[in-house]
Chain A
Amino acid sequence: MEDQSILQMRNISKHFPGVQALKNVSLSLNKGEVLALVGENGAGKSTLIKILSGVYKTDSGEIVFEGKGTEIQHPLDAIGLGISTIYQETSLVQELSVGENIFLGRQPMKHGRIDWKRMNQSSQGILSDLGIKIKASQSVGDLSVAQQQFVEIAKALSFNTKIIVMDEPTASITDEETEKLFEIIRKIQQKNTSVIYISHRLKEIFQIANTVMVLRDGEVVSCNSIEDLNELDVIRYMIGRDIGNIFSDKSYECEEHILFEARKLCRRKKFNNISFELRKGEILGFSGLVGAGRTEIMRAIFGLDRLDSGEIYINGKKATISNSADAIRNGITFVSEDRRLESIIQGFSITKNISILLLKALRTKLGFIDRRKEKTLAEKAIKDLSIRASSTNELAMNLSGGNQQKTAVAKCLSFSPTIMILDEPTKGIDVGAKKEIHSLIKELAHSGVGILLVSSELPEIIGMCHRAVVVRDGEITKILEGEKITEENLLRSAVKTSIGLASKKDQT
C-alpha cells in the first residue's frame, strides 16, 4: 500500500532568548490532507511554519519529507522540496502581470527572448484549472487581496508544490471570496497536494479541514480528525491552562470619573466602530488575536497613524489628536509593541531616554537642558524600577530586553501621564521583570492613571484588568467585566465561531 504520508515533523523544539517557542512538537501530514493549525497568540503556530518554510532553523528534532529525512536551512530549500508558504503580506510583484508573477524568475523563452504567448497560456491554464476567473495578463496591482491570494496559490501549484501552507488566508477577504478559496482548496486536494491552514476562524476550519491540531504554549495539545470534535472542544483545548498565582489581587476599585472616551473610531481596512470608555484608575485590557487591529487602534489614538473618522474625548472635552505631539500634550503616553525600535532610542543613554518627554520641564533659565536634574531623574527611575545598568550613562542598546522595557516605562512614568497606552509590555521578558512591570502598572492605576493595556497573554488580561475589550477583525465583539473575564470568554469572543458569544452553560 502506497505510503500516504508526505510530511512528518518529529519532536521539533525551538528556543528564543527568553522563551521556549516550541517543545517537542510532532506533526504528520498525508497527501491531499488539509490540516488546520490552531492556537492563541504565542502558541507557536507561526514559529512552526517558519521552521517548515526555512526561515528558522530547528534546535532539535527532524523533518521527514516523502519518507526521507531532510534539512531545511533556507527558504529556497523549502521551495525546492515543494513546500510553498502564503503569508498575509503579499509576496507578489505589483507592477507585473499575473502570468509573470506565476513564472517569476523562470519565464518561458523562445529564440532567446521571453515567450509571452506561452507564459500567458500556461498561467491561464493553471488559473482555469483551479477555477480562478482572472486573466493572466492583468496587472497584479489591480487585483483585490483575495484575488492576489488565489494567484499565489496558482503560483505555488505551478511549481509542483506538494504542501501549501496558508497563514490566516481569510483575514481580509469577504465570505464569498472565502467560499471561492475553499473551492480552490478542494481542487488542490484532488491533485493530492496537502494544505496546512492556520486560522482562528473555527467556523471555516470546520468547513474545510480534515484534521485539527491545537497548539498551546509551544506544545501540541491535541490532534484529531475533524469528525471527532466540535468547536467548543477546540476552544477548550486552546485554553485550559493553570493560571497559577502570578497575580496577587485586584482588590481595589477604580473611580467613576471617565477619563477618556472613544466614539466610533474608524480607519479603513484596519478597524471600525470602536467605542469605549476609560475610567480614572482603571486598567482596561484589549484582548484578541494577533492582527485583530488593537495596535492599530492604539496608534491611531496616539496620533501616530491616521484616523478616518471618530472622536476622542478626554475628561469630557473633545480632543484633536493629529500627531504624537498632540497626544502627549493631552497627557497620553505610549509604549510601543516594537520595543527595540520604537519605544526607546537605542543610541541614547538611559538618562536621555528617560528625559525625552520632559525636556521642557528640565530647562534651566537659559533654556538649556539641566543635566544635573536629568541625571537625578534617571537615578531615581533606575532605583524605583530596579533597572539593572552600570550607570545612568549606559546606552540603551546595551541593556537587556526587560531593562529596556523598564526604561521605556520609566520614560512615561516621569511624565506623570493622565493616560498610558501599553502595547504588549511584557512580551519576551523574563518572569521576574514581568512581575515587576505588573506591579508598576498596578501602582500607576492606583494613583489614578488610566491604562489601556493591549496584551495577547490571557493570564495577563485576567490578572490585571478591571474590564477587557475583545477585538476581532477590527471590531469590538465584547466588553467583559470583572468576574466574566475568563479565558473561555476572552477566547470565544476573539475567534470566529458559529456559536453564540455568550457564556451560557454549555451542553456537550
Chain B
Amino acid sequence: MTGSDMFVRGKKNEKESQRKVEKKLSRDIIEQKRFIKFLLNQKLLILIVLLVAAMAIKDTNFFSLSGVYEIFDHIAIIGIMAVGMTVLLISGSFDLSIGSVLSLTTVIVMLFQERGILISIIMGVVSGIAVGILNGLIVVKGKINPFIATLGSMLIAKGFALGISRSQTIVGSRAEFIFLAHGKVLGIPNPFILLVIFLLIGWYILRFTKLGRNSYAIGGNEHSAILAGIQVNRSKFVFFVFCSLTASISGLILASKTNTGNAILGDNVVLIVIGGVVLGGTSLFGGRGHIMGTIQGVLVLGLIERAMVVFHISSWYQYMLRGIVILAVIVLDTVIERRRREML
C-alpha cells in the first residue's frame, strides 16, 4: 500500500464516520419532529381540557345545556368556514373575502325572505358561490396573487352588501326562519349538526377523494402536481368556490340566529378563522393540514373567547387578545416554515 492509498482510505473512513454521525443526527431530528408533532396535537387537547375545567370551576352553570349551546353556536359558524378555509390553504391559496361573503349572505337572505324561506336560502347560497367563482376566475385565470385578489373581492362583496342594504340592519319578515339556528333535531341543535356534517364532508374530501389528496400536492409541490397530470387550475377553482360556499352556509346560520342581517357582521371573522386553522396545524404556506387539527384549533379559540366572557373580561380586551393570538399563531407558522426550508 502506498502512502497515497492510505491517505485516500483514511479520508474515506473519516467521511464514513462523519456521514454516520449525520445519519444518526437526522434520524434523531426526525424522531424529535414526530414526537413534537404528536405533542403539539396533544397540546391543543390539553388546552381544551384546561380551558373547560377553568370555566367550569368559575361558573357552575357552565355545563348546563344553555352554556354548551352558546359555545357551539359560535363554534359552528367559525368551524364551518374553517373547513372551507382548511382545504383552500392546503392547496396553497388564500381567501380574505370570507367575512364579506358571510355578511353578504345575511343581507341577501333577509332581503329575499318575503318571497319564501327556501328562496331566500337559495339566493344566499348562490351569492356566496358567485363570489367564490369570482375569486377563482381572478386568481386562476387572471393569475393575480390570491391575497390581493381576495382583498379586492372582499371590498366588492362588502360594498355590494352595503349598497343593497343601505347600511341598515335588515330584519327578516318571516320569524320561522330562526328554526335554522335555534331548532333541534333529536335534541341536538341544528348548527351543531351542520358543523358535524361539514366536518365530515371536509374530512372525507381530504381523505378519500382525488381532489382532496391532490390538494396536498398542489400546495406542497405544484410542479410535481402538474407533471403528475393533476388539473391544478380546475382544482384551485373548485376550492375557492367551496370556501365561499362554507362562508355562505355560516352566513345562513348567523342570519337565522336573530333573523337579521347587515353588511358589517363579518368584518373581523377572517382573522379568527385563519387563527383557528393555522393553530390547528394547517400552514399558510400550503401543503399541510388536517380537519382534526382545524376543529381543535377552532375549539381552542372559541373556548378562549367564551372563557373571556365567563371571566368577565371586557370586549375590548377580547379584541386585543384575539389580535395577539392571531399574531402569535402567524409568527409561529412563519418561523416554523422558515426553519423547515433551511433544513432542506
Is there a direct interface between A and B, measured as CB atoms under 8 Å apart in the complex?
Answer: yes
Decide yes or no whether B30 CB sits under 8 A from chain A. Answer: yes
Nearest A-chain residue to B219, judged by Cβ: A95
Nearest B-chain residue to A104, judged by Cβ: B228
Nearest B-chain residue to A305, judged by Cβ: B342
In the complex, chain B residues 185-209 whose Cβ is within 8 Å of any chain A Cβ: 204, 207-209
Decide yes or no whether A76 CB sits under 8 A from chain B. Answer: yes
Cβ contact within 8 Å between B30 and A95 = no
Decide yes or no whether A100 CB sits under 8 A from chain B. Answer: yes
Cβ contact within 8 Å between B217 and A104 = yes
| Chain A residue contacts of B204, Cβ below 8 A | 113
| Chain A residue contacts of B16, Cβ below 8 A | 174-175
Decide yes or no whether B224 CB sits under 8 A from chain A. Answer: yes
* A109–B211 CA distance with the chains assembled, in angstroms: 12
Stretch at the interface among A86-94, A240-248, A432-440: A86-94
Cβ contact within 8 Å between B23 and A500 = no
* A113–B4 CA distance with the chains assembled, in angstroms: 62
In the complex, chain B residues 257-302 whose Cβ is within 8 Å of any chain A Cβ: 287-288
In the complex, chain B residues 227-241 whose Cβ is within 8 Å of any chain A Cβ: 227-230
> Which secondary structure dominates where chain A touches chain B?
loop
In the complex, chain B residues 1-46 whose Cβ is within 8 Å of any chain A Cβ: 2, 4-5, 8, 16, 18-19, 22-23, 26, 30, 33-34
In the complex, chain A residues 53-77 whose Cβ is within 8 Å of any chain B Cβ: 75-76
* A92–B217 CA distance with the chains assembled, in angstroms: 9
In the complex, chain A residues 78-124 whose Cβ is within 8 Å of any chain B Cβ: 79, 91-96, 100, 104-107, 109, 113-114
| Chain B residue contacts of A104, Cβ below 8 A | 214, 217, 224-225, 228, 230
Cβ contact within 8 Å between B230 and A174 = no
Nearest A-chain residue to B18, judged by Cβ: A272
The minimal Cβ–Cβ distance linking B118 to chain A, given in whole angstroms, is 29
- Contact size class for B? 20 to 34
Cβ contact within 8 Å between A114 and B209 = yes
- Contact size class for A? 20 to 34
Cβ contact within 8 Å between A95 and B288 = yes
Cβ contact within 8 Å between B221 and A91 = yes
Decide yes or no whether A142 CB sits under 8 A from chain B. Answer: yes
Decide yes or no whether B223 CB sits under 8 A from chain A. Answer: yes
Cβ contact within 8 Å between A96 and B216 = yes
Cβ contact within 8 Å between A105 and B230 = yes
Decide yes or no whether B220 CB sits under 8 A from chain A. Answer: yes
In the complex, chain B residues 117-160 whose Cβ is within 8 Å of any chain A Cβ: none
| Chain B residue contacts of A272, Cβ below 8 A | 18
Cβ contact within 8 Å between B229 and A105 = yes
Interface centre among B204, B207, B220 (most CB of A within 10 A): B220
Question: Which of A79, A100, A269 is in CB contact (< 8 Å) with B213?
Answer: A100
> Which secondary structure dominates where chain B touches chain A?
helix
Nearest B-chain residue to A91, judged by Cβ: B224
Cβ contact within 8 Å between A500 and B5 = yes
Question: Which of A75, A95, A175, A269 is in CB contact (< 8 Å) with B216?
Answer: A95
* A435–B216 CA distance with the chains assembled, in angstroms: 50
Nearest A-chain residue to B223, judged by Cβ: A91
* A91–B30 CA distance with the chains assembled, in angstroms: 20
Cβ contact within 8 Å between A92 and B4 = no
Nearest A-chain residue to B230, judged by Cβ: A105
Decide yes or no whether A386 CB sits under 8 A from chain B. Answer: no
* A144–B344 CA distance with the chains assembled, in angstroms: 11
Interface centre among B33, B204, B227 (most CB of A within 10 A): B227
Decide yes or no whether B339 CB sits under 8 A from chain A. Answer: no
A142 with B30: in contact, given A76-B229, A93-B221, A502-B4 (CB under 8 Å)? yes
Decide yes or no whether A262 CB sits under 8 A from chain B. Answer: no
| Chain B residue contacts of A174, Cβ below 8 A | 16, 19, 23
* A75–B228 CA distance with the chains assembled, in angstroms: 10
Decide yes or no whether A223 CB sits under 8 A from chain B. Answer: no
Cβ contact within 8 Å between A500 and B4 = yes
Question: Which of A79, A144, A175 is in CB contact (< 8 Å) with B227?
Answer: A79
| Chain B residue contacts of A429, Cβ below 8 A | none
The minimal Cβ–Cβ distance linking B25 to chain A, given in whole angstroms, is 9
Decide yes or no whether B312 CB sits under 8 A from chain A. Answer: no
Decide yes or no whether A357 CB sits under 8 A from chain B. Answer: no
| Chain A residue contacts of B225, Cβ below 8 A | 93, 104-105
| Chain B residue contacts of A232, Cβ below 8 A | none
The minimal Cβ–Cβ distance linking A172 to chain B, given in whole angstroms, is 10
The minimal Cβ–Cβ distance linking B35 to chain A, given in whole angstroms, is 12
Decide yes or no whether B210 CB sits under 8 A from chain A. Answer: yes
| Chain B residue contacts of A76, Cβ below 8 A | 227, 229
Nearest A-chain residue to B5, judged by Cβ: A500
Q: List 12 A-B contacts (CB under 8 A).
A: A93-B216, A95-B287, A96-B217, A96-B220, A104-B230, A105-B230, A113-B208, A114-B213, A142-B30, A144-B26, A500-B2, A500-B4
List residues of chain A with CB under 8 Å of any chain B CB: 75-76, 79, 91-96, 100, 104-107, 109, 113-114, 142, 144, 174-175, 268-269, 272, 306, 500-502
The 10 closest A-B CB pairs, nearest first, are A105-B228, A113-B208, A104-B228, A500-B4, A93-B220, A91-B224, A93-B217, A105-B230, A105-B229, A174-B19
Known: A93-B287, A105-B214, A142-B33. 16 other contacts (CB 8 A): A91-B223, A94-B221, A94-B287, A95-B288, A96-B216, A96-B220, A104-B217, A104-B230, A105-B228, A105-B230, A109-B210, A113-B208, A114-B209, A114-B213, A268-B22, A306-B342
